[in-house]
A and B are shown apart, each in its own frame.
Chain A
């Protein structure tokens, strides 16, 4: 029973007989008494003994009860220390002053033992409750810190600190539901993901963890933006309660082809700054948020947009647009758009936006929920090379094997075999460090086989912006209605030099009509479509590379450990 607990109670009264009587009553109730004979002493006794309750006379010499109460409440801070004023002040003004200075109740003279007892018990319960709330709050902070730590281990910074990225994100943003992820792809490109979970606190943070894990895991394995989004959506739909979902945008930057593949699902339109014309394009949300649709019904709309070096994409959660000024007015889209029309240099735009939102909210409720990311299209050479090459590792894994893998039309429509193929190839330890180059090689050969071979697309289309869009819409159209055709992937590996090296043979054959590869090989410098980007790369890493038949079968031979070891330089050779 809380009622029987012995408390430490401070009694401050300059009147000796009154103080003596009150002490006797309080002691009779089984409590410990600390005495003070004026306001100043009351404060110092409070600091010294930290009592659970204070009985304070209002009118005292050297600092009266009002001042003492104010000081004590200030010292106590978040901790609730009940103060009962000992007074028979009658006028409303004096009573109000007691409450204003931090008093919680009154006790009038003559003292009544049962009333005093009831009050002590009531405030004791209140204090306990308050303590519990404080403890819960502290516990929550501790838990959030732990959760944050776990989250940081899963959702590390990725490549957010790359030179071409600027971002603003509150350290505890995951508990506000915001998440920002970025990572380099095996082929040298970059994924940027921004998500805004409905709801706050732990539910949002819990949903963010598998999302981050899928994002990083699948990015590293070379999955496409479409596949990663599908996987995240499936996972979120399964684990999140109905009212929770994640508004998101994802960008796939290809620094070689100078394109962005963009998905916007439920977030405000993202802006694409065009450096040459100093204008911007808005890319509106065209998909449902993640975690709403079942796998079958999830149809992310991914737009292919050409970019030039120094063009810049701005992504945000609705935090900026919904920032409020003191009078409650929202920042709004119009203000945001105006910021882009003020002739700022693009390098300044990011901070210009943040400063303006800050200024707008001046005096308004401070909101740390501002999440903003910008990513610039750059020359791939300018990006730091974050592919860690592990050296001197004992090499092992399967060295003698072959694989024959044929995909028919239905599979070609719905399945991307590259992550699987890469996985198999990099089981060879000696090839692990070159997964980036190998992925690029495989991707190049596969997309040539699919797009030019099976789908019969003309690569010359891609030379103009307009044709570029047409190319991709045709690609989608033909792929969706594909009923015949195949791609045959043949891989084999053999050990060389007693297992200290090896030879990987890759061959892609498609059902297409082939092409005049003799002519292409002769006029290599004129070709900017078929293998245009891939050929120099292929030359660098392949010991052999040749076409067969009518040009619908291509062979590549990679020998390690003599593969060129600088992936950045490799990638730079694309153009």
Chain B
């Protein structure tokens, strides 16, 4: 379990967040999880509209909050999508979006069971 956890999340970063947020730590995690659903919707909408600039912006935004929460795999996937949007190459975008959604499901589960229990 702990190995799978550290494969997707930066545990040191999460410890630091606990320390900073104190009582509000779970609120922070919940806020991130709720925000993320919205971000993923934005990404999908941009891909459907084939708007590479919107893809770039949405991916960039999600990348930032993923980084802050210590979700380094999710952060990396968002970066690839952001670059694709930046380069105007949207052919791989639907595939990337799918992988981002999968990764989010994984960390969402991990965060809930390990940090919100």
Size of chain B's interface in residues, with CB distance under 8 A? 23
B21 → chain A closest CB, angstroms:
5
How far is A109 from B17 in the complex, measured between Cα atoms in Å? 13
CB distance from A92 to the nearest CB of B (A): 12
Chain A 73-132 interface residues, beta-carbon cutoff 8 Å to B: 86-89, 91, 109-111, 113
Residues of B within 8 A of A21 (CB): 17, 20-21, 28, 68
Are A59 and B31 interface neighbours, CB within 8 A? Answer: no
Distance (whole angstroms) from the CB of A97 to the closest CB of chain B = 14
| Chain B residues within an 8 Å CB radius of A113 | 16, 20
Closest to B82 in A: A90
- Most chain-B CB neighbours within 10 Å: which of A16, A17, A20, A24? A17
Give every chain A residue within 8 A of B76 (Cβ-Cβ).
none
Provide the residues of chain B in CB contact with A89, threshold 8 Å: 60
Q: Which residue of A lies closest to B70 (CB)?
A: A110
- Which chain A residues have a beta carbon within 8 Å of chain B's beta carbons? 14-18, 20-21, 24-25, 28, 59, 86-89, 91, 109-111, 113
* Residues of A close to B57: CB separation below 8 A: 59
Does A17 lie within 8 Å of B21, measured CB to CB? no
Complex interface: chain A residues within 8 A of B34 (CB) = 16
Please state if B17 and A59 are interface contacts (CB–CB under 8 Å). Answer: no
Contact A15 to B67, CB < 8 A, known contacts A20-B31, A24-B20, A24-B21: no
Q: Give A89 to B24 CA distance when docked, in angstroms.
A: 28
CB contacts (< 8 Å) of A109 on chain B: these are 63-65, 67-68
Q: Is B61 an interface residue (CB 8 A)?
A: yes
Residues in chain A near residue B24, CB distance under 8 A:
20, 24
Q: Is B89 an interface residue (CB 8 A)?
A: no
A382 to B68, CA, bound (A): 86
| Shortest Cβ distance from residue B18 to the other chain A in the assembled complex, whole angstroms | 11
Q: Nearest chain-A residue to B60 (Cβ)?
A: A59
| Complex Cα spacing A89 to B63, Å | 10
A113 to B65 CA separation, bound complex (whole angstroms): 15
Contact of A110 (CB < 8 Å), options: B27, B35, B67: B67
Contacts of A15 in B (CB 8 A): 35, 61, 64-65
B27: A residues at CB distance < 8 A: 20
Query: With A110-B13, A113-B20 in contact, do A17 and B61 touch (Cβ < 8 Å)?
Result: no
26 A-B pairs within 8 Å (CB atoms) are namely A15-B61, A15-B65, A16-B31, A17-B28, A17-B31, A17-B68, A18-B65, A20-B21, A20-B27, A20-B28, A20-B31, A21-B17, A21-B20, A21-B21, A21-B68, A24-B24, A28-B20, A59-B57, A59-B60, A59-B61, A109-B63, A109-B67, A109-B68, A110-B67, A110-B70, A111-B68
CA distance A20 to B22 in the complex (A): 12
The 8 A CB mask of B26-42 against A (1 = contact, 0 = none) is: 01100110110000000
User: B69 at the A/B interface (Cβ < 8 Å)?
Assistant: yes
Besides the known contacts A15-B65, A20-B21, A109-B64, 14 further A-B residue pairs in the complex with CB atoms under 8 A apart: A15-B35, A16-B35, A18-B64, A18-B65, A18-B68, A21-B68, A24-B21, A28-B20, A59-B57, A59-B60, A88-B67, A89-B60, A109-B67, A113-B20
B95 to chain A, nearest CB (A): 22
B50 interface residue (CB < 8 Å to A): no
Q: How far is the CB of A103 from the nearest CB of chain B, in Å?
A: 16
Min CB gap A114→B, angstroms: 11
What is the chain B residue whose CB lies nearest that of A14? Answer: B61
CA distance A32 to B61 in the complex (A): 25
* A17 and B60 contacting across the interface, CB-CB below 8 Å: no
Look across to chain A and name the residue whose beta carbon is closest to the beta carbon of B69.
A17
Query: A167 CA to B67 CA in the complex, in Å?
Result: 70
Q: Which residues of A contact B61 (CB under 8 A)?
A: 14-15, 59
- The residues of A that contact B32 with a CB separation of less than 8 Å are 17
Q: By the criterion CB–CB under 8 Å, are B20 and A25 in contact? A: yes
Any A CB within 8 A of the CB of B86 = yes
Give Cα A113 to B32, complex, Å: 19
Task: For residue B20, give the distance in angstroms from its CB to the closest CB of chain A.
Answer: 5
User: Inside 8 A of A24's CB, which chain B residues have their CB?
Assistant: 20-21, 24, 28
Task: Kindly state the separation between the CA atoms of A16 and B33 in the bound complex, as whole angstroms.
Answer: 10
- Distance (whole angstroms) from the CB of B31 to the closest CB of chain A: 4
Q: A21, A28, A88, A91 — which one has the most chain B CB atoms within 10 A of its CB?
A: A21
CB distance from A175 to the nearest CB of B (A): 52
- Per CB-CB distance, the 9 closest pairs between chain A and chain B, nearest first, are A17-B32, A109-B64, A110-B67, A109-B67, A17-B31, A110-B68, A16-B31, A18-B65, A24-B20
Name the residue on A nearest B64 (C-beta). Answer: A109
Q: Determine how close the nearest CB of chain A comes to the CB of B102; give it in whole angstroms.
A: 20
- The distance in angstroms between the C-alpha atoms of A59 and B55, with both chains bound, is 13
Chain A, Cβ-Cβ closest to B33: A17
Contacting pair A88 B17 (CB below 8 A): no
